[in-house]
Amino acid sequence: MKQLLIIAAILFVASSASAQIRIGKRTINVEKAVQAASDAATAITLSDEDVAELCRESIEWMDANNPVAAPDSEYSSRLIRLTENLKDVEGIPLNFKVYEVVDVNAFACGDGSIRVFSGLMDLMDDDELVAIIGHEIGHIAGHDVRDAMRTAYLAQATRGAISSTGGGLAKFTDSQLGDLALALTDAQFSQKQEFAADDYGFKVCVENGFNPYGMSSSLEKLVGLSQGAKAPIVQKMFSSHPDSARRAARIKETADNHQK
Protein backbone atom coordinates (compact mmCIF):
# COMPACT_ATOMS: atom_id res chain seq x y z
CA MET A 1 0.00 0.00 0.00
CA LYS A 2 1.55 3.21 -1.08
CA GLN A 3 1.59 6.04 1.31
CA LEU A 4 -0.31 9.16 0.58
CA LEU A 5 1.70 12.30 0.40
CA ILE A 6 1.70 14.02 3.70
CA ILE A 7 2.10 17.63 2.65
CA ALA A 8 -1.43 18.42 3.65
CA ALA A 9 -0.81 17.02 7.09
CA ILE A 10 2.09 19.31 7.80
CA LEU A 11 1.63 21.10 11.06
CA PHE A 12 3.61 24.21 11.62
CA VAL A 13 4.70 24.97 15.13
CA ALA A 14 7.18 27.76 15.33
CA SER A 15 9.28 29.19 18.05
CA SER A 16 8.77 32.90 17.86
CA ALA A 17 11.93 33.58 19.79
CA SER A 18 14.34 31.73 17.54
CA ALA A 19 12.86 32.48 14.12
CA GLN A 20 12.64 28.83 13.26
CA ILE A 21 9.77 26.81 11.93
CA ARG A 22 9.17 23.39 13.37
CA ILE A 23 7.54 21.06 10.90
CA GLY A 24 6.82 17.75 12.51
CA LYS A 25 10.01 16.80 14.32
CA ARG A 26 12.19 18.91 12.11
CA THR A 27 13.18 22.50 12.69
CA ILE A 28 13.50 24.73 9.68
CA ASN A 29 15.71 27.72 10.12
CA VAL A 30 14.01 30.74 8.64
CA GLU A 31 16.17 33.24 10.43
CA LYS A 32 17.66 34.38 7.17
CA ALA A 33 14.28 35.11 5.63
CA VAL A 34 13.00 36.83 8.73
CA GLN A 35 16.18 38.86 8.86
CA ALA A 36 15.61 39.89 5.26
CA ALA A 37 12.08 40.87 6.23
CA SER A 38 13.22 42.90 9.18
CA ASP A 39 15.92 44.71 7.28
CA ALA A 40 13.68 45.99 4.54
CA ALA A 41 10.55 48.04 4.16
CA THR A 42 8.94 45.51 1.84
CA ALA A 43 9.29 41.92 0.72
CA ILE A 44 10.65 43.09 -2.61
CA THR A 45 14.10 42.69 -1.13
CA LEU A 46 13.66 39.01 -0.39
CA SER A 47 16.49 37.79 -2.58
CA ASP A 48 16.60 34.74 -4.81
CA GLU A 49 19.20 33.38 -2.43
CA ASP A 50 16.84 33.77 0.55
CA VAL A 51 14.08 31.93 -1.29
CA ALA A 52 16.46 29.27 -2.56
CA GLU A 53 17.62 28.62 0.98
CA LEU A 54 14.03 28.26 2.21
CA CYS A 55 13.29 25.95 -0.72
CA ARG A 56 16.35 23.88 -0.01
CA GLU A 57 15.37 23.35 3.61
CA SER A 58 11.75 22.61 2.72
CA ILE A 59 12.81 20.08 0.10
CA GLU A 60 15.18 18.45 2.56
CA TRP A 61 12.26 17.97 4.92
CA MET A 62 9.96 16.74 2.16
CA ASP A 63 12.55 14.19 1.04
CA ALA A 64 12.98 12.98 4.60
CA ASN A 65 9.23 12.60 5.11
CA ASN A 66 8.10 11.08 1.83
CA PRO A 67 8.95 7.68 0.33
CA VAL A 68 11.71 8.60 -2.11
CA ALA A 69 12.17 5.96 -4.82
CA ALA A 70 15.48 4.07 -4.55
CA PRO A 71 18.08 5.25 -7.10
CA ASP A 72 18.06 1.87 -8.84
CA SER A 73 14.26 1.53 -8.90
CA GLU A 74 12.29 1.51 -12.15
CA TYR A 75 10.81 4.90 -11.34
CA SER A 76 14.19 6.52 -10.68
CA SER A 77 15.80 4.87 -13.71
CA ARG A 78 13.05 6.20 -15.93
CA LEU A 79 13.30 9.69 -14.47
CA ILE A 80 17.10 9.69 -14.82
CA ARG A 81 16.78 8.58 -18.44
CA LEU A 82 14.22 11.24 -19.30
CA THR A 83 16.08 14.09 -17.60
CA GLU A 84 19.66 13.25 -18.60
CA ASN A 85 19.95 16.42 -20.72
CA LEU A 86 18.19 18.67 -18.23
CA LYS A 87 21.11 19.80 -16.13
CA ASP A 88 20.32 23.35 -15.13
CA VAL A 89 18.04 26.32 -15.67
CA GLU A 90 19.15 29.95 -15.46
CA GLY A 91 22.39 28.73 -13.92
CA ILE A 92 20.55 26.79 -11.22
CA PRO A 93 21.53 23.10 -11.15
CA LEU A 94 18.51 20.80 -11.32
CA ASN A 95 17.97 17.72 -9.21
CA PHE A 96 15.18 15.19 -9.60
CA LYS A 97 13.57 12.61 -7.33
CA VAL A 98 10.48 10.42 -7.37
CA TYR A 99 8.12 10.17 -4.43
CA GLU A 100 6.35 6.83 -4.44
CA VAL A 101 2.90 8.16 -3.67
CA VAL A 102 -0.45 7.74 -5.40
CA ASP A 103 -0.98 11.46 -5.93
CA VAL A 104 -0.90 12.76 -9.50
CA ASN A 105 1.43 15.67 -9.09
CA ALA A 106 4.85 17.21 -9.50
CA PHE A 107 6.35 20.38 -8.12
CA ALA A 108 9.42 22.57 -8.37
CA CYS A 109 11.29 24.70 -5.91
CA GLY A 110 13.46 27.71 -6.55
CA ASP A 111 16.60 25.85 -5.53
CA GLY A 112 16.34 23.65 -8.66
CA SER A 113 14.62 20.69 -7.03
CA ILE A 114 11.95 18.92 -9.06
CA ARG A 115 9.88 16.21 -7.43
CA VAL A 116 7.70 13.88 -9.50
CA PHE A 117 5.11 11.61 -7.91
CA SER A 118 4.92 7.99 -9.05
CA GLY A 119 1.13 8.35 -9.40
CA LEU A 120 1.81 10.84 -12.17
CA MET A 121 4.52 8.67 -13.75
CA ASP A 122 2.12 5.71 -13.91
CA LEU A 123 -0.34 7.75 -15.96
CA MET A 124 1.92 9.60 -18.37
CA ASP A 125 4.01 8.32 -21.26
CA ASP A 126 7.59 9.56 -21.67
CA ASP A 127 6.70 12.52 -23.90
CA GLU A 128 3.98 13.69 -21.52
CA LEU A 129 6.21 13.26 -18.50
CA VAL A 130 9.06 15.26 -20.03
CA ALA A 131 6.52 17.98 -20.88
CA ILE A 132 5.31 18.15 -17.28
CA ILE A 133 8.88 18.15 -15.97
CA GLY A 134 9.66 20.93 -18.46
CA HIS A 135 6.60 22.78 -17.20
CA GLU A 136 7.91 22.58 -13.64
CA ILE A 137 11.36 23.76 -14.77
CA GLY A 138 9.50 26.65 -16.41
CA HIS A 139 8.18 27.68 -13.00
CA ILE A 140 11.79 27.98 -11.83
CA ALA A 141 12.90 29.79 -15.00
CA GLY A 142 10.02 32.25 -14.63
CA HIS A 143 10.89 32.83 -10.97
CA ASP A 144 7.29 31.87 -10.18
CA VAL A 145 8.28 30.20 -6.91
CA ARG A 146 10.18 33.29 -5.87
CA ASP A 147 7.22 35.49 -6.81
CA ALA A 148 4.75 33.31 -4.88
CA MET A 149 7.04 33.56 -1.90
CA ARG A 150 7.27 37.32 -2.29
CA THR A 151 3.48 37.63 -2.49
CA ALA A 152 3.03 35.56 0.66
CA TYR A 153 5.67 37.61 2.34
CA LEU A 154 4.15 40.94 1.30
CA ALA A 155 0.81 39.87 2.72
CA GLN A 156 2.52 39.04 5.97
CA ALA A 157 4.53 42.23 6.06
CA THR A 158 1.27 44.15 5.68
CA ARG A 159 -0.34 42.23 8.50
CA GLY A 160 2.81 42.55 10.56
CA ALA A 161 2.93 46.29 10.00
CA ILE A 162 -0.44 46.61 11.71
CA SER A 163 0.99 45.39 14.97
CA SER A 164 4.38 47.00 14.66
CA THR A 165 4.94 50.48 15.98
CA GLY A 166 7.13 53.29 14.77
CA GLY A 167 8.42 51.33 11.81
CA GLY A 168 10.15 48.89 14.12
CA LEU A 169 11.02 45.35 13.18
CA ALA A 170 8.04 43.32 12.13
CA LYS A 171 7.29 40.44 14.44
CA PHE A 172 5.89 37.42 12.72
CA THR A 173 3.51 35.16 14.53
CA ASP A 174 3.89 31.40 14.42
CA SER A 175 1.10 31.07 11.88
CA GLN A 176 2.60 33.75 9.67
CA LEU A 177 5.88 31.87 9.62
CA GLY A 178 3.92 28.74 8.76
CA ASP A 179 2.24 30.53 5.86
CA LEU A 180 5.62 31.65 4.60
CA ALA A 181 6.95 28.10 4.42
CA LEU A 182 3.73 26.77 2.94
CA ALA A 183 4.06 29.26 0.08
CA LEU A 184 6.98 27.19 -1.17
CA THR A 185 5.26 23.82 -1.36
CA ASP A 186 1.70 24.90 -2.08
CA ALA A 187 2.14 27.86 -4.41
CA GLN A 188 -0.81 29.00 -6.50
CA PHE A 189 0.33 30.28 -9.85
CA SER A 190 -1.49 32.66 -12.14
CA GLN A 191 -2.83 31.60 -15.52
CA LYS A 192 -0.16 33.74 -17.17
CA GLN A 193 2.53 31.86 -15.26
CA GLU A 194 0.93 28.53 -16.20
CA PHE A 195 0.85 29.51 -19.88
CA ALA A 196 4.52 30.47 -19.74
CA ALA A 197 5.36 27.19 -17.98
CA ASP A 198 3.40 25.27 -20.65
CA ASP A 199 5.45 27.05 -23.31
CA TYR A 200 8.57 26.01 -21.47
CA GLY A 201 7.40 22.40 -21.28
CA PHE A 202 6.73 22.45 -25.02
CA LYS A 203 10.20 23.89 -25.65
CA VAL A 204 11.88 21.25 -23.49
CA CYS A 205 10.11 18.50 -25.49
CA VAL A 206 11.09 19.94 -28.86
CA GLU A 207 14.68 20.65 -27.89
CA ASN A 208 15.22 17.19 -26.48
CA GLY A 209 13.68 15.15 -29.26
CA PHE A 210 10.38 14.39 -27.55
CA ASN A 211 6.92 14.69 -29.09
CA PRO A 212 5.88 18.35 -29.52
CA TYR A 213 2.38 17.25 -28.47
CA GLY A 214 3.61 15.94 -25.10
CA MET A 215 2.45 19.06 -23.26
CA SER A 216 -1.03 19.25 -24.76
CA SER A 217 -1.46 15.50 -24.46
CA SER A 218 -0.57 15.50 -20.76
CA LEU A 219 -3.03 18.32 -20.09
CA GLU A 220 -5.76 16.58 -22.06
CA LYS A 221 -5.10 13.46 -20.03
CA LEU A 222 -5.44 15.41 -16.78
CA VAL A 223 -8.69 16.93 -17.97
CA GLY A 224 -10.01 13.44 -18.74
CA LEU A 225 -8.84 12.08 -15.40
CA SER A 226 -10.51 14.89 -13.53
CA GLN A 227 -13.82 13.68 -14.91
CA GLY A 228 -13.26 10.03 -14.03
CA ALA A 229 -12.65 7.74 -11.09
CA LYS A 230 -9.25 9.25 -10.44
CA ALA A 231 -10.73 12.70 -9.92
CA PRO A 232 -9.86 12.85 -6.21
CA ILE A 233 -6.13 12.28 -6.75
CA VAL A 234 -5.78 14.74 -9.63
CA GLN A 235 -7.70 17.36 -7.69
CA LYS A 236 -4.60 18.79 -6.09
CA MET A 237 -2.82 19.29 -9.38
CA PHE A 238 -5.90 20.97 -10.76
CA SER A 239 -6.31 23.28 -7.83
CA SER A 240 -2.93 24.78 -8.64
CA HIS A 241 -3.33 24.52 -12.42
CA PRO A 242 -6.61 26.21 -13.33
CA ASP A 243 -8.34 25.92 -16.64
CA SER A 244 -6.45 22.91 -17.98
CA ALA A 245 -8.74 22.38 -20.98
CA ARG A 246 -8.02 25.88 -22.20
CA ARG A 247 -4.33 25.40 -21.60
CA ALA A 248 -4.37 22.11 -23.50
CA ALA A 249 -6.05 23.73 -26.52
CA ARG A 250 -3.65 26.64 -26.47
CA ILE A 251 -0.45 24.57 -26.33
CA LYS A 252 -1.83 22.11 -28.90
CA GLU A 253 -2.11 25.05 -31.29
CA THR A 254 1.52 25.86 -30.58
CA ALA A 255 2.45 22.28 -31.51
CA ASP A 256 0.27 22.48 -34.66
CA ASN A 257 2.08 25.63 -35.74
CA HIS A 258 5.44 24.01 -34.99
CA GLN A 259 4.55 21.09 -37.27
CA LYS A 260 3.66 23.36 -40.20
Catalytic residues: 136
Q: Give least dist CB 169 to Zn ion, A.
A: 35
Q: Which is nearer to Zn ion, 14 or 197 (CB)?
A: 197
Q: Which run of H or of E encompasses 89?
A: strand 88-89
User: Which residue's C-beta sits nearest to Zn ion?
Assistant: 197
Q: Which is nearer to Zn ion, 156 or 193 (CB)?
A: 193
Residues lying near Zn ion in the complex (CB under 5 A) are found at 194, 197
Q: Tell which residue, 139, 143, 140, 152, has the closest CA to residue 33.
A: 152
Q: Give least dist CB 188 to Zn ion, A.
A: 10
* Residue burial 1-34, b: 16+ Cβ < 10 Å; e: rest: eeeebebeebebebeeeebbbbbeeebbebebbb
Ramachandran region of residue 209, left (φ > 0), alpha (ψ -120 to 50) or beta?
A: left
Q: Which is nearer to Zn ion, 23 or 222 (CB)?
A: 222
Tell me the C-alpha to C-alpha distance, in Å, between residue 61 and each of 54, 221, 238.
11, 31, 24
Q: Are 255 and 212 in contact (CB under 8 A)?
A: yes
Q: Which run of H or of E encompasses 116?
A: strand 113-117
Q: Tell which residue, 211, 70, 51, has the closest CA to residue 131.
A: 211
Q: Any idea of the CA torsion for 175, 233, 70, 27, to the nearest 10 degrees?
A: 0
Q: Give least dist CB 140 to Zn ion, A.
A: 11
Q: Give least dist CB 135 to Zn ion, A.
A: 6
Q: Is 174 exposed, middle or buried (CB count within 10 Å of its CB: 0-12, 13-18, 19+)?
A: middle
Q: Which is nearer to Zn ion, 19 or 225 (CB)?
A: 225
Q: Give least dist CB 73 to Zn ion, A.
A: 26
Q: Which is nearer to Zn ion, 128 or 194 (CB)?
A: 194
Residues 256, 190: Cα–Cα separation, whole Å: 25
